[in-house]
Structure 1
Amino acid sequence: MNNNHISTGTIARTAVLLLALTNQVLSAMGKPILPIESSTVEQLVTAGITTVAALVSWWKNNSFTAAAIQADAWMGEKKKRVN
């Protein structure tokens, strides 16, 4: 039960969220990452990406600490025994 590594999914979701948030901030400062010409469309797309990334990234249980990762493993074992 000493499996203390952050899952690939947690890292991927967090990276997508950071990219979306960075693009949102840069877009607000007039320096977007995404090369979209129309500022209205750019704002809508950026806000949409940020919203989707935030929801997807934090919908799942993202365990970063060793204690949380151990708790996830414990919960997985308990679920196996119930099923």
Structure 2
Amino acid sequence: MKNFDKGTVVRTVLLFIALINQTLMMFGKGALPISEDQVNTLADTLYLVGSTVFTIITSIVAWYKNNYVTEKGKKQKEVLKQNGLTK
């Protein structure tokens, strides 16, 4: 997952809003009353949440892969120790 710039997030949010509005109009419903400020606030929030989730997931994966937390990892560490390849 790449970090998206604010413009990409805003365009994506606007696309989904346009699709929702179009679908509502097809079924005879009114369009969504959304202001530009609300779109920007939503885009900022989605960007922040997405970045936070990405950071959390990549941090957990990096921690898991760089530590000997599984049985296989503990065995690997022991072999490394026996061969003088680790502290």
Give the TM-score normalised by structure 2.
0.36
Q: Which has the higher contact order (CA 8 A, sep 6+)?
A: 1
Q: Select the structure of larger CA radius of gyration.
A: 2
Tell me the TM-score normalized by structure 1: 0.37
